[in-house]
Structure 1
């Protein structure tokens, strides 16, 4: 069960690549790795917390007010995440504050609350939230890394906004780099995400073809065994 949840969250049902949810903040903040990491961690905390809360109250909330109750839970957790960011990484919060607020409307979070947490135990719901959040965070980081390298020739620039004193983590990938502005503009985000989705689809296709070839070999082998035995 845990392995299935892990594979679903990171690959098979990845909220960004398969369900294609939460694209507004995903595309908007991935101009750099630090912005992507800040939003991804906030989303991770909210989705885990909302799954746990929904699972705890699932037997007490009537269906007529189920969705409003879930939205209230998510909004409360987003407010907590915003307050934490204001307290510990205020400069980063100023950059991505609008998109942190939009976590409330992220259909990936409400979808997991409605589709999984309200039907399962607290433990499984927490794991589902963890893996789905990690899958979303992974896409944010990959897209943010791609766009930062192409747009500025660096990685982890501005990390001190998230972790005080972490400015030494900045990596200069290309010296004397002439910025490729297109990569950090909205069209660059769409193209980058499209490339990531295309790569996932290619990998899935290759896995499917390999499984088909293996199945054919098994069928052919079983036929040969039957012919030999007869």
Structure 2
């Protein structure tokens, strides 16, 4: 394999090939559990850990497993990682585990994880595979948390409610009331709000990409100042 370009991996995971708003993978948890920041953080951390573990294991066995059983082996690895994460959450963050409910075991079928295992980890060595899982998890987490913050703020007028479910009693006072005496806007918290705000995030991303492309095209077309010289020819009498 050629030398790994970690800068390109980072750019792909965070922006150019973000699994949530470019590949549009893993939309089930993205839309279902982002009614609040704490739910989004819990799902984001669980997905990131499964991505790192599964990519690492797939990379280690890539030269051993035959093509006939490749995908079933990947699914078994992912399922084992998800089970470990579930057991940890039951032990240390049980209330958050109950809130996330069925969407935690459904990480096993998340296309983001299986896609990275098959497309990247199965073709690369351990460290690049681990980093790919980490950065793709970060990109997915950023969108989850941004969506959760938007929905919680517009839906309830506050941010960071129930943070103690994940960070302990010390986080019980982290709640920030942005709008006092705010009447809840339930559409933001309900499933239709998830589709609306996800669409807005995708639209903003596409707008930024369009402006960047226009600037790059303009720079390419702009003639270099002073690059042309006028040559005068004629007879001197």
TM-score, normalising length: structure 1? 0.96
Q: Residue 161 of structure 2: SS of its match in structure 1?
A: coil
Q: How far apart are residue 229 of structure 1 and its match?
A: 8.2
RMSD: 1.1
Q: How far apart are residue 202 of structure 1 and its match?
A: 0.3
Rg larger in structure: 2
Q: How far apart are residue 97 of structure 1 and its match?
A: 2.2
Match in the other structure for 1:161: 165
Q: Does 1:221 align with 2:217?
A: no
Match in the other structure for 2:208: 203
Aligned residues: 226
Aligned residue among 187, 190, 198 for 1:185 = 190
Match in the other structure for 1:57: 61
Match in the other structure for 1:118: 122
Unaligned runs of 5+ in 1: none
1:118-137 aligned at under 5 Å gives the runs 118-137=122-141
| Distance (Å, rounded) in 1 between the aligned partners of 2:191 and 2:217 | 39
Unaligned runs of 5+ in 2: 232-237
Q: How far apart are residue 228 of structure 1 and its match?
A: 1.9
TM-score, normalising length: structure 2? 0.93
Q: How far apart are residue 221 of structure 1 and its match?
A: 1.6
Structure 1 runs (4+) greater than 6 angstroms displaced: none
Q: How far apart are residue 114 of structure 1 and its match?
A: 0.3
Match in the other structure for 2:92: 88
Q: How far apart are residue 178 of structure 1 and its match?
A: 0.3
| Distance (Å, rounded) in 1 between the aligned partners of 2:69 and 2:57 | 15
Q: Which has the higher helix share?
A: 1
